[in-house]
Each structure stands twice: as C-alpha cells, then as structure tokens.
C-alpha cells in the first residue's frame, strides 16, 4: 500500500507505537514501530512481533495484552 493512504498517531506522546489509520479501509487495527513495517493487530499479534516489540506493545497496550492472553507467541 502507498504510504499516503496511512495516517499515524500515538495514544500518548511518550508511546513508541504508532497506531495507523488506513483511509481506504475502516475497522482495521494497524500499528507500527517505525512507520515502515505495519502490523495488523488481529493477524500478527503476538506471533509476528519480535520479543522486544511484544514487550513494548504489551507495556503500552495492557488492554490488548489481556484480550489476547490466550494466544501463543
């Protein structure tokens, strides 16, 4: 996808993770650490994240960590 189709934002200024709005697709939960590689929350968490990415994600998003607590990484 072209970068122009995405809008990046952080929940808190201190967060590492950017949440991503895809202006052509509603309802996706996308996030990125570097604005280059974009993860789909439901398809990629936790198995496609590195151990460090998962640690950061879980720290910044305890709700989603709990939501997916039954998934194996």
**DSSP letter at 3?**
G
**DSSP letter at 4?**
G
Residue 69: CB atoms within 10 Å: 7
pLDDT tier, 70 (very low <50, low <70, confident <90, very high otherwise): confident
d(CA 43, CA 51): 17
pTM score of the predicted model: 0.86
What are the pLDDT digits (tens) for 9-37?
A: 999 999 999 999 987 888 889 999 999 99
d(CA 31, CA 40): 7
**DSSP letter at 15?**
-
Is the CB of residue 41 less than 8 Å from the CB of residue 59? no
């Amino acid at each position: 996808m072209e970068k122009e189709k995405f809008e990046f934002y952080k929940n808190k200024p201190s967060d590492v993770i950017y949440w991503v709005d895809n202006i052509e697709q509603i309802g996706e939960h996308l996030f990125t650490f570097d604005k280059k590689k974009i993860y789909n929350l439901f398809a990629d968490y936790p198995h496609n994240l590195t151990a460090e990415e998962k640690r950061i994600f879980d720290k910044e998003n305890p709700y989603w960590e709990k939501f997916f607590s039954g998934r194996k990484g």
